[in-house]
Amino acid sequence: MFQTRDPKDLSVNFFSLLSDRWGLVTAADGKGCNPMTVSWGGVGVLWNKPVATVYLRPQRYTYGLMEQNEFYSLSFLPADRHDVVALCGSKSGRDTDKTAACGLTVCRDQSAPYFAEAELVLICRKLYAQDLKPECFVEKALDGKNYPNHDYHRMYIGEIVSVLQK
Ligand SMILES: Cc1cc2nc3c(=O)[nH]c(=O)nc-3n(C[C@H](O)[C@H](O)[C@H](O)COP(=O)(O)O)c2cc1C
């Protein structure tokens, strides 16, 4: 059963959650919703608001959904559901219904969809979106190493409007 939490009361470690557990960015599509695995991102404070930032390459199906929707969720599943994040990080919503393939139960917040199987859910409202730019790399080696195909991530900064935790 989810409880609504104040972001300031969270004691989870987002470094290990993102790096080891991996998260799911989920936005609505016409038929339902599509979860996509992410391991790059962060949470913090900006413009005096609690925010979550995610980075999406333009070829992701989820990229289009992020453009269409005002809200998205960032969810973390229990460690024993690594099968879900593995599938959602290797299949595209363009040709796979990942929600059905993983047997996930969709919950509909009034804003963004998320999953009953999650342990922690951040519901986010898009505040700012900007593409990373090659000329902005201070550490130039990162550009060639991460973007040989010039598919620069778009950064989405979202206000965390709701935190749900079991
Ligand atoms: C561990 C892991 C982390 C990932 N992190 C990101 C990320 O932060 N940004 C991104 O654009 N893709 C990331 N991906 C790749 C997408 O999850 C993957 O391409 C996915 O199939 C895209 O799904 P979609 O086409 O339904 O959006 C990651 C994949 C894995 C396995």
At a CB cut-off of 8 Å and minimum separation 6, what does 13 contact? Answer: none
Q: pLDDT digit string (tens) for 79-130?
A: 999 999 999 999 999 999 999 999 999 998 779 999 999 999 999 999 999 9
Looking at residue 138, what is its pLDDT?
A: 98
Looking at residue 120, what is its pLDDT?
A: 98
If one residue of 38, 54, 73, 146 were mutated to test the ligand 1 pocket, choosing by the most ligand atoms within 8 A of its CB, it would be 38
Closest CA relative to residue 32, chosen from 117, 88, 92, 99: 99
Burial of 2 (0-12, 13-18, 19+ CB in 10 A): middle
**pTM beyond cutoff 0.75:** yes
At a CB cut-off of 8 Å and minimum separation 6, what does 28 contact? Answer: 65, 69, 112, 113
In short, whether 57's Cβ falls inside 6 Å of ligand 1 is: yes
Q: pLDDT digit string (tens) for 145-156?
A: 999 999 999 999
Helical residues (DSSP H) of the chain, grouped into ranges = 14-16, 61-68, 82-88, 98-102, 141-146
Closest CA relative to residue 121, chosen from 3, 41, 21: 3
